[in-house]
Amino acid sequence: MAYRRLGRSGLQVSLFSFGSWVTFHNQVDTGGVREMMAAARDGGVNFFDNAEVYANGESERLMGEALAQLKWDRLDYVVSSKFFWGLDRGAPDRPRINGCDTLNRKYLMQAVDGSLQRLGLDFIDLIFCHRADPHTPLEETVWAMHDIIEKGKALYWGTSEWSADEIRSAWDIADRHHLHKPVMEQPQYHLFHRRRVEREYARLYEDTGLGLTTWSPLASGLLTGKYRKGVPANSRGAIESVSFLRDGLLDARKNAAVGELEGVAQDLECTVAQLALAWVAHNPRVSTVILGASRLAQLQENLGALAVLPKLTVDVLQRIDAITTGLGD
């Protein structure tokens, strides 16, 4: 396993990390979570990504149970959580006001306590503002994230799917008041979704030292090739709670491109999934690539992408670009 610094911080995270979105609780039970986390750690993974909203808190609970059973030294692993949507949104006739879709101080200070309890940890290494909140003054959010760190409940904070202008504004507020600054961003990044990481954030890497913990490197499974003939049973695309992904997974032009990528993968003696993962990791701005898996064999295959990295020559990258350019944003 290779390790990279998280942006300009001194924290080192594994180039490939393991995340829980969709799979934990929905596809993987307690035993499976423990088994895959142990296998990931054996493969050199030291960063495990989570969020309050994943499976309505159950994802954090399962990860917490696995950590308690695995009994790793706390210095040896990094855990994250993300806040914005909250948990149970309340009954339709009495929706929660300050407990969801917000980054106000009241919600953030209580949300981190809930995550700590479910994870069974004294502190969370990385906390993210899961989306931007246009209804809360940004200064209030920045101060709340700073205070969470000052109280010892988290070590670093960052954002997820924020615009470059929003990240810059938050960083400037923190800099002006000598507060803990946002260190990392968690954006979607894969062969069909490139503009934000490669163009929009371009100035932030040098100006603020922004690090990236990228998600969906396989475009929710599209880049594995499994959706070329429809939606397989027991796949992510078959899960009703994420049915919004289905149209994208069945995109005819992108699936045709995946077919062409399989030829490149064959030449490199790897799978198309490993090729796509290595492509994301090849970007030096990426601190870590978050993997998702519902089976141990799938996780082990994905970790094999590390061996593909040295094969991504200029010629190979040009072949990949020729196939995928213009098919996403």
Distance CA 154, CA 147 (A): 9
Element (H, E) at 12: strand 12-14
Long-range contacts (CB closer than 8 Å, 24 or more residues apart) made by 174-180: 174/142, 174/146, 177/142, 177/143, 179/142, 179/143, 179/146, 180/145, 180/146, 180/149, 180/150, 180/156
* 77 carries an active-site annotation: no
Element (H, E) at 81: strand 78-83
List 54, 156, 189, 227, catalytic entry: 54
Bridge partners of 49? 19
Q: The tokens 């929009």 sit on which residue? A: 200
Residue 282: Cβ-neighbour burial (10 angstroms; 0-12, 13-18, 19+):
middle
Residue type at 206 in one-letter notation: E
Alpha-helix residue ranges (DSSP H) falling in 48-124: 58-70, 105-119
Distance CA 120, CA 61 (A): 8
Here the tokens at position 14 are 């594994």
* Those residues with Cβ within 8 angstroms of residue 13's Cβ, 6 or more apart along the chain or in another chain: 3, 4, 5, 6, 46, 47, 78, 213, 287, 288
Catalytic residues: 54
